[in-house]
Amino acid sequence: MKFTPEHTQISDTVRKFVANEINPFTAEWEKAGQFPAHKLFKKMGDLGLLGIKYPTEFGGMGLDFSYSMVAAEALGDCNVGGVPMAIGVQTDMCTPALARFGSDELRHEFLAPAIAGDMVGCIGVSEVGGGSDVAALKTTATKDGGDYLINGSKMWITNGMQADWCCLLVNTSEGAVHKNKSLIMVRLDSPGVTRQKIEKIGMHSSDTAQLFFDNVRVPQKNLIGQEGAGFMFQMLQFQEERLYGAAGSLRSLDNLIDQTIDYTRQRKTFGQPILNNQVVHFRLAELRTEVEALRALTYRAVEQYVGGKDVTKLASMAKLKAGRLSREVADTCLQYWGGMGYTADNPISQAFRDGRLISIGGGADEIMLGIICKLEGTLPGKQQ
């Protein structure tokens, strides 16, 4: 990756925003079970941080994805995981297909206010019976005059309690499961939409909801692209989501290691700092090396993505490694903090709770392994 002064400027802007507008309030937001998304997103929109990679005619900066990656990495300075995850939903999960394949009318109605921070979006893919198995979703949209009638439900929807709209993946026909799905923009104040908050073991400052759709009427013009292309569009969205997740973990992992070095240097056992034990400083050196390897993999994937190459395998590898390394770093560091690491308000325990989601959300580790094996040619075919 070749970084420009603009990359550095964006990174510095995000880090200052985190220091001034996010971290001072995270304890309050964690206790409340959500952060004020509209208020925070509006501040980010005023700085141009919600549309870095999107066209200028809709309020974006018109830059390539590498600049979004830099912003994601800088958000790793957040001392909780829920807020940067929710921001990533807005910038890199519910808007890529809309920006790339949506009509100008749809982009003016939904994308422009999302970039400005005037509307909060969410992505509706997972269901109770189909999370990582996207093909298994059951929510339907049937035509009725010039509208769709949507019925079904969506599960684990980040921003779901506060979102103004949802980019919803639904079945629009009875055809093959990979060709019968479409992405439709749905306003969540529409009659027939109800929401139920989901309590989680981590990511407390990010609200998560189950959404229910009961004969929700949506104009057919809210279709993104063409009918039947939704599965393909969502697979493309997943690439940016997974790259965002990998990039967003880098600085937070470095920060955990830095904090653990500081703590183990100060805390003494048997007359010497814990850090002086070879098992401790060697292990932290190993973890730092792993983070740098993940950074190199992520940068390479982003560079190729910006160059127009298919990075499905590299993005899956980066997502897999980010999830596993987040668990490994948090678990190891917590051990070195001892009893302090097990207290609820400790930064290591916070990461331990929040980081566990990375191996589940956006495609579980096992899905990433399946994708990699398929592209490696090592995935066994279906038995007859």
Q: In whole angstroms, what is the distance from residue 106 CA to residue 225 CA?
A: 10
Tell me which DSSP letter residue 34 carries: S
Positive/negative CA dihedral, 344, 345, 348, 350: positive
Q: Report the first-to-last Cα separation within the chain, whole angstroms.
A: 46
Q: In whole angstroms, what is the distance from residue 234 CA to residue 123 CA?
A: 10
Strands 165-171 and 181-187: antiparallel
Q: 251, 201, 291, 242: which is closest to 23 by C-alpha?
A: 251
Alpha carbon 210 to its chain centroid, in Å, reads 17
Contact status, residue 343 vs residue 71, Cβ threshold 8 Å: no
Of the residues 6, 241, 328, 376, only one is catalytic, namely 241
Q: Do you know the residue count of the chain?
A: 384
Contact status, residue 112 vs residue 59, Cβ threshold 8 Å: yes
Calculate helix-pair angle for 365-376, 312-337, nearest 10 degrees: 140
Q: 170, 174, 150, 309: which is closest to 231 by C-alpha?
A: 170
- Compute the half-sphere exposure of residue 198: CA atoms within 13 Å on the CB side of its CA: 17
Q: In whole angstroms, what is the distance from residue 361 CA to residue 330 CA?
A: 18
Query: Quick one: the chain helix, strand, coil %, rounded to 5?
Result: 55, 15, 30
Q: 218, 270, 214: which is closest to 110 by C-alpha?
A: 218
241 is catalytic: yes
Residues serving a catalytic function are 241
